[in-house]
Amino acid sequence: MNNDFLKLISEEYAVLDGALGTLLHEKGLSSGEIPEDWNISHPEILTDIHLDYFMAGAQIVETNTFGASSLKLEANGKQGLLRELNVRGAQLARVALKEFREINKVPEDNRYVSGSVGPTGKIFGMEVDGLKVENNYLEQGAILAEAGVDLFTVETMIDLREAEAAVRALKKETKLPVLVSTVFNKTKKGEFRTLFGDTVKDTVIRLTEAGADGVGTNCGLVEEYIDVIYEMRSLMDIPLLLYPNAGLPKLKGGMTVFEQTPLQMIAFLDESVKAGATVVGGCCGTTPEYIKLVSGKIKGRRRLF
């Protein structure tokens, strides 16, 4: 399975899923809840969302475990649910994949479940040291691998040191493929850096050295991230991830909304691919409708890079 996935992303464009939290909020997730709780309280909703993304053409669907590491759960008083939340998260995505294959009468195909792994929420080097961060990801990775994920997506990282620790830990513990994505912001000087000041160049070099099987960027504006993709592609030849937000977040009626439509977003896809993106999906505010458009354009195409 690992070799099949690595062969897919090395030879063809691949489609990642879209937002999960956005859809959960539409289904009633309150601001006081953590999304991972719904793995236990509303499993059928998670399965339906995962299935919708598979049906839309996503080849990689992520588990609802972004904030389910021990350090992150500790901050929410949920550390006792570490194993259950991660196991359930993986199981629900696998159930959706099984349902997809039964509906479409395909026993095996190039679709995969990725264990979503996010930031710890702690300041690296001040609130936690490197060993504690690495152990945090070792623990979560082991549970997700045991529960049946095919790969990992380390995503929305804002500190390169933490991203490196996650990649090293997951590679050491599981030997599964690891894709990693960081968030970049445009500075007043016009360059792109993470919140902790890491450059695009340093990010690419250090994450590839750490063993990442794919590197990219997420949770930003697609029209800005095209420049990031061009720079990343000039520095590496491995799979390059791009999954942007549906525009800037706005507060309406007490809820955060993203107003860029799927058609407005898809208008940037050709340029994104030209820049070097090879694994494309969506982040905050995106939906199965957008993923269906992405799939229609790139799924099954041979990589240019």
In a domain, 199, yes or no: yes
Closest CA to 218 of 297, 119, 112: 119
In a domain, 139, yes or no: yes
In a domain, 304, yes or no: no
- Rounded to whole angstroms, the Cα distance separating 260 from 185 reads 19
Domain boundaries, position 36:
2-296
What beta strand segments (E) does 141-275 contain? 151-157, 178-182, 185-186, 192-193, 214-221, 240-245, 249-252, 255-258
Per-residue pLDDT at 255: 82
In a domain, 301, yes or no: no
In a domain, 192, yes or no: yes
Q: State the pairing for strand pair 192-193/185-186.
A: antiparallel
Confidence category of residue 282, pLDDT binned at 50, 70, 90: very high
What is the tens place of the pLDDT at every residue in 109-121?
899 999 999 999 9
Q: What is the secondary structure of 18-59 as a DSSP string?
A: --SHHHHHHTT--TTS-GGGHHHH-HHHHHHHHHHHHHHT-S
Per-residue pLDDT at 305: 79
In a domain, 88, yes or no: yes
What is the tens place of the pLDDT at every residue in 175-227?
999 999 999 999 999 999 999 999 999 999 999 999 999 999 999 999 999 99
Q: Is the pLDDT confidence value at 105 over 80?
A: yes
Instruction: List CB contacts of 219: < 8 A, sequence separation 6 or more.
Output: 155, 156, 183, 243, 244, 245, 283, 284
In a domain, 68, yes or no: yes
In a domain, 303, yes or no: no
Partners of 251 in beta bridges: 256
Number of domains in the chain: 1
CATH code of residue 35: 3.20.20.330
Mean pLDDT of 131-157: 98
Confidence category of residue 3, pLDDT binned at 50, 70, 90: confident
